[in-house]
Each structure stands twice: as structure tokens, then as C-alpha cells.
């Protein structure tokens, strides 16, 4: 019988620092689905404290990720990502654009770590743990 080997949706846990006129540390989560060999699309959300004055902030983003090594031929897999988001960062919620450079590392059992840096609602630095799935798909 035919077995579908197409990768399914994949969840991730994240920790992002957003730095603008105020700084926010936002734990969050995301879900991504493959749109082909090279492209993943998904939704990311985060909520966390903001400094000066101390209060809560949050964001939601629709992101497209283009993998430069989708078949995992190398130990580290670079990618570029971009999209749109809405967030507060201490002011009224507003829309913004997102542009990110990222690097996925080698699998750690059931998860794949990733480091990101970019812009979107401020300068951002992030760390993610993504659920590893099908062999050959980070």
C-alpha cells in the first residue's frame, strides 16, 4: 500500500529578543508547513515582558522561510525568511515587515535548533527548537 512520505506541519518553541527604543524578551511558539522542497510557511506568536516601564507585549507573524539546504546535505543549514507581523512593543499594536537570516543546526534527537537574527518590530535575535520529522527535512 502507498504510504505518504510528505512532511507534515511542524511545531517549534522559541525565545526572541526584540530591541528598539525598548527591549522585549518573548517566549513563543510557531507552526510551519512545507510549500515545496525549499519553502516553509507558518505562523509565529510570542508574549513577554518589556522594559522601561515593565509591562507585557506580544506579537503574531506570518512568515515564509526559504531553505538554502533543504535536503540536509550539510551539518548546518542556512535560510532566509520574511513576512508580516503585528505587535505592540510598548505602543499601540501596529503592522510591520519581518526579514530574518537563520541557521539550523544538526538534530538533537527529536528537535533541531536554530539561531536567527534580523529586523521586524525592532532588531531581533532568536533561538528556536523545531520538531524534527522526516529524514532529510530539518
Continuous segment of H or E residues that includes residue 50: strand 39-50
Query: In order of start, what are the domains of the chain with their CATH numbers?
Result: 10-131 (2.40.160.20)
> What is the DSSP annotation of 87-120?
E-TTSS-EEEEEEEEEEE---BTTEEEEEEEEES
Per-residue pLDDT 10s for the chain (138 aa) are 444 555 689 999 999 999 988 899 999 999 999 999 999 999 999 999 988 778 889 999 999 999 999 888 899 999 999 999 999 877 788 999 999 999 999 988 899 999 999 999 899 999 999 998 655 444
Using CA atoms, how far apart are residues 116 and 85, in angstroms rounded to an integer?
16
Using CA atoms, how far apart are residues 63 and 82, in angstroms rounded to an integer?
6
Confirm whether pTM is higher than 0.75.
yes
Amino acid at each position: 500500500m502507498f504510504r505518504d512520505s510528505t512532511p507534515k506541519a511542524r511545531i517549534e518553541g522559541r525565545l526572541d529578543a526584540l530591541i528598539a527604543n525598548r527591549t522585549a524578551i518573548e517566549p513563543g511558539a510557531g507552526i510551519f508547513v512545507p510549500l515545496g522542497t525549499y519553502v516553509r510557511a507558518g505562523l509565529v506568536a510570542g508574549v513577554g515582558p518589556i522594559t522601561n516601564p515593565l509591562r507585557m507585549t506580544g506579537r503574531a507573524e506570518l512568515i515564509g522561510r526559504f531553505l538554502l539546504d533543504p535536503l540536509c546535505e550539510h551539518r548546518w543549514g542556512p535560510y532566509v525568511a520574511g513576512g508580516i507581523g503585528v505587535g505592540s512593543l510598548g505602543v499601540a499594536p501596529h503592522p510591520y515587515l519581518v526579514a530574518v537570516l537563520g541557521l539550523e543546526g544538526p538534530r538533537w534527537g527529536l528537535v533541531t535548533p536554530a539561531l536567527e537574527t534580523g529586523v521586524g518590530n525592532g532588531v531581533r535575535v532568536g533561538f528556536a527548537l523545531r520538531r524534527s520529522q522526516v529524514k532529510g527535512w530539518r
